[in-house]
Amino acid sequence: MITPSVFAGNGCGEGTVLVDGVCQLAPEESNDGCGEGTVLVDGVCQLAKTSGISMSIEPLYIVIGVVAIGGIIGAIAVARRGSKTSKPARQDLDDYEEQYLRRQGQRPTRKPAETRQTSMFCEGCGAKLKPAAKFCGKCGSKQ
């Protein structure tokens, strides 16, 4: 048995609408009478059709940001690596110098490092010194 106070004038209950002879839940109201994500077509609320783009705007911004950051990191890596030309080793420089001097008619000469003996004792305080000391370890005076 149907109680008239429970049903609306179109034969459906409160919060429902008559669609093609069938009572359905009424959508939440929007400015066109349909709920969020729906549109009114021929007096019936239907799901809104989305465009061909399946991504929302937020993920698109994320993808653009990731690509930009990747490009910056790549540019830094290339800049840090620098040129692929290797720097000559010390031996290569010595060989080059020797060849250059030979072409000039000169012979390369190597001079050994100079070492000077200091006295065995500090002139300022009399402390014992190492043979090649430039300063006294006790008083700091120059030898």
Whether 89 maps to a domain, the answer reads no
In a domain, 90, yes or no: no
Ranking 6-10, 38-42, 99-103, 125-129 by mean pLDDT, the lowest is 6-10
Residue 104 belongs to some domain of the structure? no
Distance CA 140, CA 119 (A): 15
Asked, for residue 24, whether it belongs to a domain, the answer is yes
Structure tokens at 35: 């709920």
Can you give the residue range of the structural domain that contains 40?
A: 1-67
Instruction: Quick: pLDDT tens for 5-28.
Output: 444 456 777 777 788 888 887 765
- Residue ranges of alpha helices (H) inside 9-143 are 57-81, 90-103
Residue 32: closest CA among 44, 22, 21, 23: 44
What pLDDT shows up at residue 66? Answer: 93
For residue 124, being part of any structural domain is answered with: no
pLDDT tens string 79-101: 877 656 566 666 788 788 888 88
Burial of 16 (0-12, 13-18, 19+ CB in 10 A): middle
Residue 37 lies in a domain: yes
Beta pairing partners, 45 = 40
Q: Is residue 96, in this structure, part of any structural domain at all?
A: no
Specify whether the CB–CB gap between 66 and 72 falls below 8 A. Answer: no
Q: Is residue 56 part of a domain?
A: yes
Query: What is the domain count for the chain?
Result: 1
CA angle 61, 63, 65 (to 5 degrees): 70
Most confident of the ranges 19-23, 69-73, 124-128: 69-73
Q: Could you tell me the pTM of the whole model?
A: 0.23
